[in-house]
Structure 1
Amino acid sequence: MSKKALTYMVSFMALSTAMSSVVSADEISALKQQIEQLNKKIQSVESKQHASQAKREQYHAAKEAREAQLAEKIHKIEAENQELMLASKTTIKNGSMPGSFLVPGTNTSLKFYGYVKFDGIYTSKLYGGDNSASQSSNFAAIPLNGSQTARRGGEFNALLKESRLGFDTQTVQNFGVVDSRLEFDAYGSGTTGLRMRKAYVDIKGKTHEFLAGMQSTNFADFGGTAGSETLDFGGILGTPGHRPPMLRYTANVNPKFKVMISAEEPETTYRATNQTEDDGSLKTLDHGSGNTMERIPDMVLHLRVGDDKAHMSFRGLVTQQSYDDGQFQKRALGYGLAHTGRYEFDNKDSVCYDVVYGNGLGKWMTGGTTASYIHNDDPTKRDFFLQNNLGLSIAFQHKWTQTMRSTLGLGYHKVYNRKQMKEAQTNKALRDIHINLIETPVQNFDIGVEYAFGHREVEKVNTTVTTNANTRPKGSVHLFQLSAKYSF
């Protein structure tokens, strides 16, 4: 109701009252007070109406301001999303492996790795008449004491042939991951020729794995002495080692127990008793040359119990060595058994050992030569046989500081020669010692020194090829090595 309408109504009521009767002065005063109170109420109502209108206007203004701010934020976020979408098409993202990146447009991660390693090596005796064998501790070829080769003295070699380059990929799948690896070093032909070390694909589920390609033999456990940290590329004697093409299945029974079964490329290597080479060694005919024949793969079973701190493994293999010259066909079945143990102490020191024994294990053993032998002096027959091998090794690593450590390793390889081999200049026993000191002054860079001693014994000196009558059926060598390695 408007102010004017209220005024008319009050005036009309007053006039009606005056006309109906004579009004006293007190009544007139009371009537005025009522009129004033009504006017105040009218003013209060109008004031509230004005305040309410102001609040509504203020609310609408604030609402419009908030909507404007929100619209501005939405526009900014949309613009940032557009920039991120554009950048994601060209920016390299981190992959699923540490140090890897995601290949654009795929769910495959790629990683480059490797190291550059310089080795300065002094050997007290020159192996085999040249420096080709002085690039690592080839203790199976140590010159015999008193021989012409041994009297030539030692030599210093500087090389980078152990330097390595590799590529890892990992593709995440619903069932797990698919890993692959290509790895090379410079131990190929010549001084810088590349050699493929590993090439495989590994399909990994939660409890099962399947590997196909060239990988370290399933008969080795590189958590033992075979994987000990030595500067010498040859490693410790008496440990298994080999990298054949293979198919391998792994069952991860639980986090501390796994079973691995593999079918690996067979490789017959034999020595012929009527063929000799420098220093009386028998001629070796390798896989794929001469009359070597392979018809079935080598089968290997590997059981591993434990974790990274402590573990044990038990391995067994069956191999067939074959000879076929078109006139004579010979086959011999060999076997191997191996056991490894490793334990890491609370101060990060560790100790490990390997025990290997079998028949025809030459190619699997560090310092080994051949697995089988053929006696072909008689043109009417061939005597083809294998020989037993024993390998023992132990290694201890001590951490002096967080960046400095030393490894002490001892190895022994015994060959139980048979028949004509006992009458030839064939290796009977090999022994070695390695001790080193390695420091990591900055991340990924190692520098170290190492001393190694090797000793070789043969069955007898072959006088038909040894012109020096003072040659003895044993020989020793000292090896001093300085190495620097940068890993990436």
Structure 2
Amino acid sequence: MAISLHFSLRRSALAAAVFLSLAGAAQADSRSEAALEARIAQLEQQLAELKTAVDAQKKASAAAPAAAPAAAGPAAPGVKAPIQVTTLTPGANPGTTVKIGGFIKTDFMLTRTDSGQLADSATGRDLYLPGQTPVGGNNSNTDYDAGAKFSRVNIGVDTVTENNDKLGAFVEFDFFGGALGNENATNTYGVTLRHAYAYWNKWLAGQTWSTFVDTAALPDAVDFVGPTDGVVFVRQPQVRYTSGNFQISLEDPQTTVMPRGGGASVSSDRGAVPDLAARYTWKGSWGHFGIAALLRDLRVDRAAAGTAPAIEDSRFGGALSVSGKWNLGEKNDIRYQLSAGSMSRYIGFGITADSVLDADNNLESIDGWAGYVAWRHIFSKQLRGNVMYARSDYDNPVAYTGTGATKSSSSFRLNLIYSPLPKLDVGVEYMLGRRELESGADGDIDRLQFMAKYSF
């Protein structure tokens, strides 16, 4: 329609021009009139050819999407080649999308403890583990550590079917597995599975964050976790159902047991009852607030060995947690969490055990509370900072745990993170932590940590 109108206007204008020309040349001789008529015929022919070319181009453009893809090879001059000829997932459902992400992160740390040294191979040399803070020893020197093992890579696959069913999968790895080399030459570490799950509409099955965890409330830290003393931090296999803001899941059960009299805890993987976790979250422009509950069957079942008798007992345990993020304008927010109950395995990578054996080899649960609060301030588009405090306290039955059990753990952190370019972070963080035993003995740890991180 637009092309027809265009040619109509052009012909009208041409006719007007011809009329004026004829009027002005009324007295011209017959040779001039013949030349003018020839020019008019030439212009009409050019307009007809132009219309034919435009129609042909429209037909070619409409047919192009239906054409078969050309064989891979050099693109014609001026033609942009496609990124790829075939899909990344040829065996997947039609319309499947693939996302690849992760980051490269390198940490540089200076660590000082005042009551003994962290062992050379201790995990606490790579990240803050409250349960490994030395207590009751001698002063130590400052140790330097560096590593890129917390870098990670993930792949997500998502599909929406013709019936509007949503399904997909997600898998993520980092490199925090056991050392496969040494720091003398290779600094090689094993790949560690973080997440591996599939979902279908409201259902999820696989390994990911426990429903008892609120990842949206985690502070912006340079350390791997941040407020480790008071945070719920567990990833494990589960089956989860989500409906709106409500989630409920059946998760892998484990019970950590401290020997009678104290000492390192061991894990008991017994029983037929999974951990039950549920969460409800309120969300808005103000931030979010969530409440979560956890029900557990603490259980031990060991066969007799030599003079050691068989041990079999179970005990019910439960915990509650509230957490959230409160936005204070565009440049400030408060993040927090407070948890209490029988949840020791879920706090700070297991600062203490879930239970201890009493005089009759029955389980006594070790309850406690844990929490943190963090303030983030955005100075500019490139610079932000965080202040955080975390703490956990445990109600140890000292008659069975002894006085060497951890009574409390706390830490304070201050950091600045600078982003000179999008997805590129350079940060520095200072941390002061303390662990106290039931005996009253305590130990401090100081750490100055630097990081460089590129996300993709």
Question: What TM bracket, shorter-length normalisation?
Answer: 0.7 to 0.9
Contact 1:409 / 1:435 at 8 angstroms: preserved in 2? yes
CA distance in 2, matches of 1:424, 1:87: 75
Q: CA deviation at 1:63?
A: 11
CA distance in 2, matches of 1:330, 1:110: 48
Contact 2:298 / 2:314 at 8 angstroms: preserved in 1? yes
Query: What are the equivalent positions in structure 2 for 1:278-289 lying under 5 Å apart?
Result: 282-287=263-268
Query: What are the equivalent positions in structure 2 for 1:291-306 lying under 5 Å apart?
Result: 292-306=269-283
Contact 2:384 / 2:418 at 8 angstroms: preserved in 1? yes
Q: 1:285 to 1:171 in 2, by over 3 A?
A: same
SS in 2 for 1:451: strand
Q: Give the match for residue 122 of structure 1.
A: 110
1:484 to 433, 449, 452: 452
1:251 equivalent to 2:251? Answer no
**Gaps spanning 5+ residues in structure 2: where?**
1-40, 74-80, 180-187, 304-309
What is the aligned length? 387
Q: CA RMSD in A?
A: 3.0
Q: Give the match for residue 198 of structure 1.
A: 195
CA distance in 1, matches of 2:56, 2:66: 15
1:222 equivalent to 2:215? Answer yes
Q: CA deviation at 1:211?
A: 0.9
Structure number having the greater helix percentage: 1
CA-to-aligned-CA distance 1:392-448 (integer Å, 9 cap, x gap): 210000001111000111001000111434533010000100110000001111001
SS in 1 for 2:270: coil
1:332 to 315, 333, 337: 315
SS in 1 for 2:345: helix
2:145 to 137, 157, 161: 157
Contact 1:263 / 1:300 at 8 angstroms: preserved in 2? yes
Percent identity over the alignment is 23
1:239 to 218, 222, 231: 231
Q: CA deviation at 1:85?
A: 4.2
Q: Give the match for residue 412 of structure 1.
A: 391
SS in 2 for 1:286: strand
CA-to-aligned-CA distance 1:88-123 (integer Å, 9 cap, x gap): 9994479xxxxxx86468321111101111100111
Q: 1:186 to 1:127 in 2, by over 3 A?
A: farther
Contact 1:271 / 1:374 at 8 angstroms: preserved in 2? yes
SS in 1 for 2:139: helix
2:129 to 134, 138, 142: 138
SS in 2 for 1:187: coil
Q: Give the match for residue 273 of structure 1.
A: 260
Q: CA deviation at 1:309?
A: 3.7
1:423 to 402, 410, 414: 402
1:447 to 422, 426, 436: 426
Q: 1:119 to 1:421 in 2, by over 3 A?
A: farther
1:241 alignment partner AA: F
Q: Give the match for residue 183 of structure 1.
A: 172
SS in 2 for 1:429: strand
2:294 to 293, 314, 317: 317
SS in 1 for 2:399: helix
2:408 alignment partner AA: A
Contact 2:408 / 2:435 at 8 angstroms: preserved in 1? yes
1:366 equivalent to 2:348? Answer yes
Highest CA radius of gyration, 1 or 2? Answer: 1
CA distance in 1, matches of 2:384, 2:55: 63
Q: 1:169 to 1:92 in 2, by over 3 A?
A: farther
Contact 1:457 / 1:473 at 8 angstroms: preserved in 2? yes
Contact 2:104 / 2:152 at 8 angstroms: preserved in 1? yes
Deviation above 6 Å: which 4+ runs of structure 1? 60-64, 87-90
Moved more, 414-423 or 193-202: 414-423
Q: CA deviation at 1:62?
A: 9.8
TM normalised by structure 2 equals 0.77
CA distance in 2, matches of 1:77, 1:142: 69
Q: CA deviation at 1:328?
A: 2.8
Q: Give the match for residue 7 of structure 2.
A: none
1:344 to 298, 305, 327: 327
Q: CA deviation at 1:203?
A: 2.2
Contact 1:92 / 1:102 at 8 angstroms: preserved in 2? no
Q: CA deviation at 1:76?
A: 3.9
1:353 to 314, 326, 336: 336
Q: 1:203 to 1:348 in 2, by over 3 A?
A: farther
Q: 1:81 to 1:198 in 2, by over 3 A?
A: closer
CA-to-aligned-CA distance 1:269-316 (integer Å, 9 cap, x gap): 111125xxxxxx7122124xxxx4132100011011123642111111
